[in-house]
Amino acid sequence: MDLRPRKRVNTNDGLGRGMEFAILVVMFLGLGYALDTWLGTKPVFMIVFVVLGIVGQFASLWYGYDARMKELEAQRRDLSRDGKAAVR
């Protein structure tokens, strides 16, 4: 009995990105909390690290999206140049 999936699994899915986003923000929050506790500056580092984590994640999502769109546009140009129907 073959239990392997028949379709190729898409590892670039939204659930994985959402988990990455949430875990990274929580990690930055924890790091900021640890620094604030150690230095006695309660909310300063927590706020700074959470904002940096969120901005970094949005930048990562944007550049990943932009690279994927450029890749798909190049594929579409190549297909239309070969005389085949363009991918929609």
- 48-86, pLDDT tens digit by residue? 999 999 999 999 989 989 999 999 999 998 888 876 554
Instruction: Give, for 55, the enclosing helix (H) or strand (E).
Output: helix 42-81
Q: Return the half-sphere exposure (C-beta side, CA atoms, 13 A cut-off) of residue 79.
A: 11
88 in any annotated domain: no
Domains held by the chain: number? 1
4 in any annotated domain: no
Among positive and negative, which fits the CA dihedral 54, 55, 56, 62? positive
56 in any annotated domain: yes
pTM above 0.85, yes or no: no
7 in any annotated domain: no
Let me know: does 39 contact 45? Beta carbons within 8 Å: yes
